[in-house]
Copies of this chain bind each other. A is one copy, B any other.
Amino acid sequence: MSLALVLDLFGTFFFAVSGSLLAARRQFDIVGSLFLGSVAGLGGGVIRDLVLGQVPSAFDRPVYLIPPLAAALVVFFLLGSVERFRRLLLVFDAGGLALFCITGTVKALEAGMNPAASALLGVTTAVGGGLLRDVVANREPQLFNRRDLYAVPAMLGAGLVTVLWHAGMFGTAAALGVAAVVFGLRVLSLHYG
C-alpha cells in the first residue's frame, strides 16, 4: 500500500470514530453510529474526488468501508463511559484533520491542480467530513467554535504540503512531520482555548 493510501485510511478511521462518538452521545443506535461515522470518515474524500472528477475512493475501493465499520464496532463495544466522549471526539477529529489536509492536497497536486487550488482542496477535504458530520447531526459545526483553532491548522498543513511538494521534498518523513504539526497545533488550541 502507498503512503497516501495508509494515511487516507487512518484519517478515515479517525473521523469515523468522531462520527460514531457523536452518535453515541446523541444515543443513536448502532446503524446511526455506522452511518454518522461513514459520513464523517468518507465525506471529505468524496467531495475531494468529485471536485477532481474521479470516482470517489469510498466507492472505488472496498477497503475504504473497513474504517467506518471498525469505528462503529470500537465505539459500540469498547467504550463504556460516555463521560470522556466529548474530549475523545475532539482528539480523533484532530487526527483526521491532520491526515486529510495532507492526503487531500497531495491528491490535488498529483492531479495537476495549481498550488492555490491544491491547498484549498486539502483544506476542503480536511474540514469537509467533520462539517458534514455536524450538519447531518443538526448541530453548529465545530469549525465555527471561536474559542479554538480548527481551519487554521489545516490551512497551515495544506500550505506546507504544497510548498514541500513543489520543492521536491515531500516524502514519508515530511508527511509525518506535517501531520504532527497540524495535530499538535489543533490539540494545543483545544487545551488553551
Which residues of A are interface residues toward B (Cβ below 8 A)? 23, 26-29, 31-32, 35-36, 46, 50-53, 55-56, 58-60, 62, 65, 108, 113-114, 116-117, 120-121, 127, 131, 135-141, 143-144, 146, 149-152
Q: Would B152 and A31 count as touching, CB distance under 8 A?
A: yes
- Once A31-B152, A51-B50, A152-B31 are accepted as A-B contacts, the answer to whether A141 and B136 lie under 8 Å apart by CB is yes
How many copies of this chain does the complex contain?
3
Shortest beta-carbon distance from A179 to chain B in Å? 21
A59 contacts B146, CB within 8 Å?
A: no
A75 to chain B, nearest CB (A): 15
Known interface pairs A55-B51, A131-B136; A29-B146 also in contact (CB < 8 Å): yes
| CB contact under 8 A between A116 and B62, given known A28-B146, A139-B138 | yes
